[in-house]
Structure 1
Amino acid sequence: MIEHRPVSELGGGDHGWLKALHHFHIGAHGNPAHKALGNLYVWNDDELAPGTGFPPHPHRDVEIITYVREGYVSHRDSLGNEGRIEAGDVQVMSAGTGIQHAEVGASDQRTRIFQIWLHPRAHGGEPRWGTRPFPKSDRAGRFVVLASGFIEDADALVIRADARALGATLAAGQSLTYDMAPGRKAYLVATSGRITVNDVPLEARDGAAVRDEATLRIEALADTEIVLVDTV
C-alpha cells in the first residue's frame, strides 16, 4: 500500500523567518490524518530565511537526520561540536540522555532542509553528533545509504535506530528499484521533479508512505533527487 501525501495537504505555517511543512502530525503541527510510520514520526520540510535559524534548544531520546537541500546549516552543540553542513551533505544527532544545539542557515541565501526524527532502539546513551558529504554524482541512478542503524552499512553515518536513510538522483527517464524486507515500511520524498512509485505519481515534495510492498519501482518523469527512509 502506498499512501500519497501531496505537498498541498501537508500541515505547516509561514513564520516569516521559517516556512515549515510537516509530513507527519505531531502535537499541534501537521495534518491529523498523517500518522507516524513505525519509528519515523517527524519529517519536516523547512525553509529558513537568510541569516536565520533555530536558537539553542534541547533534545533527548531521539535520532535526528538533517538533509540539506539548498544553502547550508551551521551547527553548534553543548558537546562542543561545530560544523557547517552544505547542500547535499547530511548531519545526524543521537540525543540520548540530552543535548542542546543551535542551527543557523546561510547568511546570503535561503536554506532548505529536511529534518527527520526517529525513535531510538533504546532510551539513554551518550549523545553524539556527526556529519559528512555525500556527492550527488555518487548517487546518480542508484541509492546510497546516508545514515543507518545497521553495522553492515559501514560507509553511512551512524544512528541508533532500526532504520536507514538513503538518497538517489535520477535523470528524466531513468528508473530504479528498492526491495523491501518483510515487515518494513518506507517514506519517500522527491525534492524536485516528478516521479512515480509503483505507478503512483508524485510531484516535487510530495510524500509517499509505504507499507506491505515487496519492491518499490521508481521512475523519474523529470530530473529528480530522492530521499527514502526504511524503518520498522
Structure 2
Amino acid sequence: MITVRKADERGHANHGWLDTYHTFSFANYYDPKHMGFRALRVINEDYVTPTAGFGTHGHRDMEIITYVLEGALEHKDSIGNGSVIQPGDVQRMSAGTGIMHSEFNHSKTEPVHLLQIWLLPEKNGLQPSYEQQNFSPAKTPGQLCLVAARDGREGAVTVHQDVDLYAAVLRAGDRTSHTLKPQRHAWVQVARGSITLNGLSLDTSDGAAISDETEIAIAATQDAEILLFDLA
C-alpha cells in the first residue's frame, strides 16, 4: 500500500525570513491525520533568507537530521560544535537529555533551502551528541547512498532509531530499487524533480508512505533528488 502526500497539501507558514512547509503536524500546523509515519515525526522544507535564521533554542529526546539542498546553513550548539552544512552534507544531532543550538543562513546574499527531519529516538534520556558527514550522492547518480543508520555502517551517520536513510540524485531515465524486508515500512520524499514510485507519479516535495510492499521501484521522469527512509 502506498499513500501519497502531495506537496500542496502540506502545512505552510511564511514568516518573511522563513518560508516553511510541514509534511507532518508541526508548530501551529496541526492535522491529526498527519502526525508522522512510524518513527518519522517531522519533515520540514525550509527556505531561509540571507543572514537570517533560528536563534538559540532547545530540543530534547529527538534525532534531528539536516539535509541542505541549496546554499549553506551555519550551526552552533551547547556541546561545542560549530559547522557549516552544505549540499552533500548530512548532519545528525541527538538532542537526548537536552541541547541548545542555533541555525543561520551562512550567506549574506543567497537563500538556503533545506530539509529538517526529526526521528523519534528508540529511547529517551540519551547523551546529547552530534555528527556531520559529506556524502555527495551527486557523484554517483542513479544509486541509493546510505547516509544515516542505527549501526553507522558504510560511513553513515549514526541515529538512535531502527531506520536506514538513503539519498539519491537521479538523472532523467535513471532507475533504482530497494527491497523492504518483512514488517518494514518506507517513506520516500522527493526533494526535487519528478519520479515514478511503483508506477505512481511524484513531483517536487511530494512524499509517500509505503507499507505491505516488498519492492520499491523508482524511475526518474526528470532530473531528481530523493530521500528514502526504511523504517521499522
TM-score between both structures, scaled by the size of structure 1: 0.95
Partner of residue 227, structure 2: 227
Residue aligned with 1:213, SS: coil
Shift of 1:80: 0.9
Residue aligned with 1:183, SS: coil
Q: Partners of 1:117 and 1:106 in 2: how far apart?
A: 22
Code of the residue aligned with 1:12 in structure 2: it is H
Q: Partners of 1:204 and 1:182 in 2: how far apart?
A: 29
Q: Partners of 1:181 and 1:22 in 2: how far apart?
A: 29
Partner of residue 29, structure 1: 29
Q: Partners of 1:65 and 1:142 in 2: how far apart?
A: 21
CA contact (8 A) 1:10 1:31 kept: no
CA contact (8 A) 1:139 1:167 kept: no
Are the structure 2 counterparts of residues 54 and 27 from structure 1 closer, same or farther at C-alpha, using a change threshold of 3 Å? closer
Shift of 1:30: 5.1
Code of the residue aligned with 1:181 in structure 2: it is K
Q: Partners of 2:200 and 2:147 in 1: how far apart?
A: 25
Give unmatched runs, 5+ long, in structure 2.
none
User: Structure 1 residues 29-38 or 120-129, which shifts more?
Assistant: 29-38
Runs of 4+ in structure 1 off by over 6 angstroms are none
Partner of residue 86, structure 1: 86
CA contact (8 A) 1:68 1:89 kept: yes
Query: How many residues are paired up?
Result: 231
Equivalent positions of 1:95-174 (< 5 A) are 95-107=95-107, 108-151=109-152, 153-174=153-174
Code of the residue aligned with 1:116 in structure 2: it is I
Are the structure 2 counterparts of residues 132 and 37 from structure 1 closer, same or farther at C-alpha, using a change threshold of 3 Å? same
Cα displacement string for residues 65-116 of structure 1 (whole angstroms, at most 9, x for unaligned residues): 1000010111100011101111221100011111100011132211011111
Give unmatched runs, 5+ long, in structure 1.
none
Code of the residue aligned with 2:17 in structure 1: it is W
Residue aligned with 2:25, SS: coil
Q: Partners of 2:30 and 2:105 in 1: how far apart?
A: 23
Partner of residue 5, structure 2: 5
Residue aligned with 2:8, SS: helix
Shift of 1:27: 5.4
Shift of 1:134: 1.2
Q: Does 2:51 correspond to 1:61?
A: no
CA contact (8 A) 1:197 1:217 kept: yes
Residue aligned with 2:155, SS: coil
CA contact (8 A) 2:149 2:163 kept: yes
User: Structure 1 residues 183-192 or 93-102, which shifts more?
Assistant: 183-192
CA contact (8 A) 1:89 1:131 kept: yes
For the aligned residue pairs, the C-alpha RMSD in angstroms reads 1.3
Code of the residue aligned with 1:11 in structure 2: it is G
Residue aligned with 2:37, SS: coil
CA contact (8 A) 2:84 2:106 kept: no
Partner of residue 43, structure 1: 43
TM-score between both structures, scaled by the size of structure 2: 0.95
Cα displacement string for residues 18-76 of structure 1 (whole angstroms, at most 9, x for unaligned residues): 11111112453254432311111111111101111111011111000100001011110
CA contact (8 A) 2:87 2:136 kept: no
Q: Does 2:170 correspond to 1:185?
A: no
Q: Partners of 1:194 and 1:145 in 2: how far apart?
A: 21
Q: Does 2:5 correspond to 1:15?
A: no
CA contact (8 A) 2:138 2:168 kept: no
Are the structure 2 counterparts of residues 86 and 27 from structure 1 closer, same or farther at C-alpha, using a change threshold of 3 Å? closer
